[in-house]
Chain A
Amino acid sequence: MLILTCPYCGVKAEETELAPGGEAHLKRVGPEGDDQQFEGYLFARKNPKGVHFERWRHAYGCGKWFLAARDTNTLQVFGTYKAQTPYPTDEIVAEIQKSRPDWKPDWSAAE
């Protein structure tokens, strides 16, 4: 069972109160992108065994979308943060590295 804290209302919501929304931090390919990039945006999804960032919606509560960082293998939750965040926050990264010292972010915030 997965318990995530909604960052909007602070409720510790259980999995059945939430609706899953797939991978987080997808960036839409704009008009300058080619077909292959757009196909990637539509269909290519990460499926890691380990640290993963996901979208969730507090469907039976305040109804807001939020983002969660968790381990798909151990179900350890590293934290949740608001959807208006282009990349996982520094606090989330620090929390992940606390228990996974070798883990490195695969994005650079300057992008």
Chain B
Amino acid sequence: MADALATITRVEGLGMIALRADLARAGDAIAEATGLALPAATSITTDGSRSLGWMSPDELLLILPGAELAEAQQALNQALTGEHALIADVSDARAVFDLVGAHAADALAKLAPVDFAALPADGLRRTRAAQTAAAIWRIDGGYRVIGFRSTGDYLATVLNNAALAGTTLAAR
């Protein structure tokens, strides 16, 4: 039997900071404090270890190695002094999965109403994966999926089920 459509691994140890602010006003300060360019709508910018994802017109998600979390949070707090802004550590509220493999897009296509093969290289798409909310973007050789930790077991189950060996969508 063929291999699974994608290798699915749960990623632990990432730090995540939810940022809410008026991005037109505070965008430059956020870009400077995080060391990343401000992402355009529905995209994500990265420098290799850190990423800054666009979540909504007034919300960003900073993803970084867990060890840098406290320092980054402090820098952001300092940069956004006086702004009406939210800087919240949401690391423990999220479940992160990496789907790596030639047919990872096929597995995601079974769960979300989105054509992930057409996702731009720096695209970030918030959608649903089966019945739970998820944000999905490209990583080397596949996709990264983040969802709520409270539905993380469910997300792991549906992802593994969608990636079962021999279930590619192309005609066989």
Chain A residues in the interface with B (C-beta under 8 A): 8-11, 14, 16-17, 60-64
Contact = CB atoms under 8 A, between A and B. Distances in A.
A61 B57 contact: no
Nearest to A1: B113
Contacts of A11: 42, 125-126
B126 A61 contact: yes
B73 interface: no
B128 A64 contact: no
A10 B128 contact: no
Contacts of A60: 126-128, 133
Decide if the interface of chain A is mainly helix, strand, loop or mixed: loop
B56 interface: yes
Given A17-B113, A60-B133, A8 B57 contact: yes
A109 B98 CA distance: 51
A66 to B, nearest CB: 11
Interface residues of B, number: 12
A10 B42 contact: yes
Given A10-B42, A60-B133, A17 B57 contact: no
B133 A62 contact: no
Interface of B: 41-42, 55-57, 59, 113, 125-128, 133
Given A10-B42, A11-B42, A62 B128 contact: no
A10 B56 contact: no
B41 A64 contact: no
A64 B113 contact: no
Contacts of A61: 56, 126-127
A22 B42 CA distance: 27
Nearest to B125: A11
A8 B58 CA distance: 10
